[in-house]
Amino acid sequence: MEITKKETDKIFAKGKCFDKLFIIFIIGCIFGNYYEMILNLVKHFIKNGTIFWEVRRGVIYGPFSPIYGIGAVLMTAILADKKHKWYQTFIYGALLGGISEYLIGYFQETVVGTISWDYSTYFLNINGRTSIPIMCIWGFICLIFVQFIYPFLSNLIEKIPYNLGKLILNIFIVFLVFDMFISWTALIRQTLRRNNYPPFTILGEFYDKVYTDERLRKAFPNMIVPEEKVEK
């Protein structure tokens, strides 16, 4: 008769399971947020000689940038633990990052009616939504992540006590699903409001009162409508 392991003996997020991928998503979201903020700070300091710390998150609540979380998950699911040569990982990572950035930018512009980045003046850009040099940066990030960071993170995540890991994971799942739903539907409602559409539901009325244009501008200071787009 086979003896079942106790809960305390179970390994949390073993292998490339949903639990581990979601933890990677969270880490990618947080990393992307602060990477963008630090990069923007450095660019502003070089240009103007002053310190400028601007919010660069992708949701209303918390330091999360989902595009980086999605990128980290794709890199993990498709490339981690695979026996690719370094240049193959670089190329695949560049393609994954570039395609994801392009599709998310297209979705945001067509569905939400805003843009958060514009590479139209950049060298070798692709419809302003990504560029070959930016894709190379994605490839480099992917190479470093897959070769060095992911093995360390995977081992660290699996050392989290099973019950504690499940509790933290479930809290983040509920919070981020709520956060992303509220953030993106509030932006869609803002677009409808900008085009003079009245609220059709109680939720729309709630958004008009709580998630005003001013509040959304503070949450997403780098987000603009296509008609006003300038080089970011």
Q: What is the pLDDT of residues 8-18, one digit of tens each?
A: 568 999 989 99
- Mean pLDDT over the full length of the chain: 88
pTM comes to: 0.85
Segment 24-37 mean pLDDT: 94
Segment 97-101 mean pLDDT: 92
CA gap 88, 62 in Å, rounded: 35
Question: pLDDT value at position 8?
Answer: 53
Q: Which tokens go with 33?
A: 């947020």
- The answer on pLDDT for 98 being more than 70 is yes
On whether the CB atoms of residues 208 and 193 are closer than 8 A, the answer is: yes
Of the candidate ranges 32-36, 40-44, 125-129, the one whose mean pLDDT is the lowest? 40-44
- Give the confidence band of 147 by pLDDT, cuts at 50, 70, 90: very high
Segment 90-105 mean pLDDT: 93
Q: What is the pLDDT of residues 175-204, one digit of tens each?
A: 999 999 999 999 999 989 988 999 989 999
Question: pLDDT value at position 1?
Answer: 37
Beta strands in 49-205 (DSSP E): 125-126, 130-131
Segment 122-134 mean pLDDT: 92
On whether the CB atoms of residues 160 and 34 are closer than 8 A, the answer is: no
Beta strands in 128-203 (DSSP E): 130-131
Instruction: Give the chain's length.
Output: 232
Question: pLDDT value at position 51?
Answer: 84
Count the neighbouring beta carbons within 10 Å of the beta carbon of residue 202.
8
Question: pLDDT value at position 82?
Answer: 81
Q: Which tokens go with 229?
A: 């787009």
Angle at 123 between CA 119 and CA 126, to 5 degrees: 55
